[in-house]
Amino acid sequence: MIIGSKRKNRLCLLILILISYIVIFQWMITNTDSGNVISDVGRLMPMKIKKMVKGKEENSIVNTINEAQKEDLKVSIAGKRHSQGGHTYYPDAVVLDMTGFNKVLKVDPVHKTIHVQSGVTWNDIQKAINPYGLSVKVMQSQNIFTVGGSLSVNVHGRDIRNGALIETVNWFRLMKHDGEIITVSREENSEYFPLVIGGYGLFGVIMDAELQLTSDELYYIKTEELNYDEYENYFKGNVLQNDKVKMHLARLSTAPDTFLQDMYVTDYLISPKHEEYSNHNELKEDKFTFLTKFLLGLSRDFDWGKDAFWTMQKSFFRDRDGHLETRNNVMRSESEFLEHEGKNDTDILQEYFIPVDKYEEYIDDLRKFLADKDINLMNITVRYVKHNEEALMSYAKDDMFALVLLINQGMDEKEKKKTGEIIRGMVDVTLKHSGSYYLPYYEYPTVKQMHVAYPNAEEFFSKKRQLDPDERFVNLFYEEYGQ
């Protein structure tokens, strides 16, 4: 059978298109599914790596570091990859995925401690300790993150009586650049302690750690609405000086009509109804995540969506006034809504630390700065973190309010440039008020701004090169700010 020339050309074209799809599909499998191209939750910094290794057993982690040493390969360390500034990977590096190294090794109810491998999540810990009536002292507001990742960024949370995570660490084991494993505490190999916690994976692999626990407690919830200029006095008088208040958070409006003016505060106070603890101590799972995600979606796209989201938040917490909840359940906040998978946009975080006494004037300056800026600011949570400079790269140079900003932005270069200019401006406003900013997020701030916010940065990076002379452990954060 003879095929006409036009039909033959069309057939050839279809075959070429089919072959192209096959090639592209194979490339995607090879370079994405295999882990050769990875990114973090922000998706703004995709990177080609050499390979990803799942660290499931101690020997496999040792072998990975020894192989990297022999072949002179760079190594980056990853957990849940919620640090958004390239902290968990590097071009053509070996990425050590620690999420499979996740055993709870020992719970000690007498001394109120837990020994865990670094890939354990806070959810794993909560499930292990809840039957003993124990609770975590410090963790993020969500329980999905790994302990190793949390140690590497020195997290803080809602507990106003315990500050940064470093305060709750007894010791940890660290695999150094040469494969040697050492125990690090405030007494043993102590030079590593303030460097590794808040060290963003630059000094070695955190293998396991012993953390301090506390008793699980029954709280009742109290919510109030107030104006931003009332918050300092409210916090000092009604929260900090009230021993019954154990946890606290606030939210600041991003709705157009009440932008950076309206607030509501939620306090968690020790309940006098101790006998009801057993009626509430079953660990809860996420509820209403679909509604939160839906309203956040409206908030991304419409100003009226921001108004609706703000109204919903206030109504939800007002309705929970007087509600009883255990400490463990307070620390099991919704997490799925953190995962936004828009094709052309992404949600990023920023966090700014402001001395408590400077909050009101800081908000005034921030509002003035943002008045004419095109930024899609969807949510601001305010927490408290007390002064602690045990970590060399400490963000808590004073008693601080921590403002966590959720921002939606486009993913192309134009959008990144626009967002970067605004964020650098917000950082300048923060530094003007003797504040700081949190380092786990996208590398928008300048090197100069980072050194102003973290005056020990030069010493920190110098110690990194001293203790890791081959610069075996690197990441994009280090490349941007440390060299």
Are 266 and 121 found together in one domain? no
- Only one residue has tokens 């620390």, namely 331
Q: State the burial class of residue 237 (Cβ atoms within 10 Å of its Cβ: 0-12, 13-18, 19+).
A: exposed
For the chain, report the end-to-end CA distance as a whole number of angstroms: 69
- C-alpha dist (Å) from residue 123 to 49, 177, 327, 454: 29, 30, 13, 31
Are 125 and 191 found together in one domain? yes
Are 248 and 319 found together in one domain? yes
Q: Could you give the 3-state DSSP secondary structure of residue 307? A: helix
The Cα–Cα gap between 200 and 344 comes to 28
Element (H, E) at 220: strand 218-227
Are 474 and 428 found together in one domain? no
The Cα–Cα gap between 371 and 192 comes to 44
The Cα–Cα gap between 378 and 398 comes to 27
Q: Based on the structure, what is the number of domains in the chain?
A: 2
Are 151 and 257 found together in one domain? no
Backbone φ and ψ for 154, nearest 5 degrees, come out as 50, 65
Beta bridge partners of 159: 247
- Only one residue has tokens 């279809």, namely 14
The DSSP code sequence of 59-81 is HHHHHHHHHHHHHT--EEEESS-
The Cα–Cα gap between 174 and 171 comes to 10
Are 171 and 242 found together in one domain? no
Q: Is residue 14 part of a domain?
A: no
Q: Is residue 31 part of a domain?
A: no
Q: Tell me what pLDDT residue 170 has.
A: 98
In this structure, what DSSP letter does residue 296 have? H
Q: Tell me what pLDDT residue 2 has.
A: 42
Domain of residue 274 covers 218-450
Q: Are 393 and 201 in contact (CB under 8 A)?
A: no
Q: Tell me what pLDDT residue 17 has.
A: 47
The Cα–Cα gap between 249 and 109 comes to 29
Q: Tell me what pLDDT residue 288 has.
A: 60
The residue among 353, 431, 338, 323 whose CA lies nearest residue 163 is 353
Are 362 and 441 found together in one domain? yes
Q: Both tokens of residue 346?
A: 């992404």
- C-alpha dist (Å) from residue 478 to 273, 437, 441: 50, 17, 13
Q: How would you label 171-204 residue by residue, b for 16+ Cβ within 10 Å and e otherwise?
A: bbbbbbbebebeebeeeebeebbbbbbbbbbbbb
Q: Both tokens of residue 457?
A: 């940065």
Q: Is residue 334 part of a domain?
A: yes
Q: Are 375 and 419 in contact (CB under 8 A)?
A: yes
Query: What distance lies between CA 238 and its chain's CA centroid?
Result: 29
pTM of the model: 0.89
Query: What distance lies between CA 364 and its chain's CA centroid?
Result: 27
Are 333 and 418 found together in one domain? yes
Virtual torsion, Cα 214, 210, 403, 306, nearest 10 deg: -80
Q: Is residue 19 part of a domain?
A: no
Are 333 and 233 found together in one domain? yes
The Cα–Cα gap between 259 and 367 comes to 8
The Cα–Cα gap between 100 and 461 comes to 29
The Cα–Cα gap between 254 and 96 comes to 38
pLDDT beneath 70: ranges in the chain: 1-35, 286-291, 334-339
The residue among 460, 300, 298 whose CA lies nearest residue 391 is 460
- C-alpha dist (Å) from residue 467 to 77, 172, 185, 404: 17, 17, 16, 33
Beta bridge partners of 117: 208
Q: Are 247 and 268 in contact (CB under 8 A)?
A: yes
Q: Tell me what pLDDT residue 324 has.
A: 96
The Cα–Cα gap between 262 and 258 comes to 6
Are 376 and 466 found together in one domain? no
Are 291 and 410 found together in one domain? yes
> Using one digit for the tens of pLDDT, what is the confidence trace for 192-241?
999 999 999 999 999 999 999 999 999 999 999 999 999 999 999 999 99
Q: Is residue 403 part of a domain?
A: yes
Q: Is residue 47 part of a domain?
A: no
Q: Is residue 302 part of a domain?
A: yes
Are 211 and 222 found together in one domain? no
